Amino acid sequence: MVEPGHFARTFRRDVPAPLNGLIAISILNWLALFLVTGFLGGSALGTSPINPNEFFVGYPSRRTIVSPQIWMFSLVYTAISLLLPVATIWALTLYAFLGDHPLDRKIWVLDARLNRPALVLASLFSLVWFYCVVRDLATSSSAWAALR
């Protein structure tokens, strides 16, 4: 029987400190994003300002009017927060494929042979995620620029 926390300790020991830090920051920032988005009443990502004086954040079913500064903060912070895990997955995938190292052992999946394929699948998913976030960021940014 594996003791509780074994995989987490093994993973932290086998992955370099900067990458562990990036993983921790990604997770904490993701949680903070939910708090900030909830406090603001939604996100500006994928939204377009109504006019130069009316900006809103929201979910598909609800909108909250905010100042242009809050709208821009929400847009940038949401995009960064959603892209940070993508960067983390890509960094972890690069680390996994750069030679012989401890990731070849059992760490987070049951069979060590599945570590690299799991990272490849996660990287492919994060590529789609990256495209969607950047597309929404570009849509909102171009709508904002058209108002200026």
Name every residue whose Cβ is closer than 8 Å to that of residue 96 and which is 6 or more positions away in sequence: 103, 115, 116, 119
Tell me what pLDDT residue 78 has: 94
What pLDDT, on the 0 to 100 scale, is given for residue 109?
A: 47
**CA 30 to mean position of chain CA atoms:** 7
pLDDT in tens, 61-79: 788 889 999 999 999 999 9
Q: What is the mean pLDDT of residues 37-60?
A: 87
DSSP string for 48-88: --SBTTBEEEEETTEEEEE-HHHHHHHHHHHHHHHHHHHHH
User: How far is the CA of 98 from the CAs of 89, 91, 95, 101, 108, in angstroms?
Assistant: 14, 11, 5, 8, 18
pLDDT for position 10: 55
Q: Give the C-alpha separation, 33 to 15, whole Å.
A: 25
In angstroms, the first-to-last Cα distance of the chain is 63
- CA–chain centroid gap for 81, Å, is 5
For the ranges 9-13, 68-72, 125-129, which has the lowest average pLDDT? 9-13
Min mean pLDDT across 23-32, 111-120, 135-144 is at: 111-120
More confident residue, 107 or 54: 54
Distance of CA 87 to the CA centre of its chain: 8
Calpha distance 66→46 (Å, rounded):
15
Q: Tell me what percent of the residues of the chain surpass a pLDDT of 70.
A: 79
pLDDT higher than threshold 90 for residue 19: no
Domain boundaries, the chain: 6-147
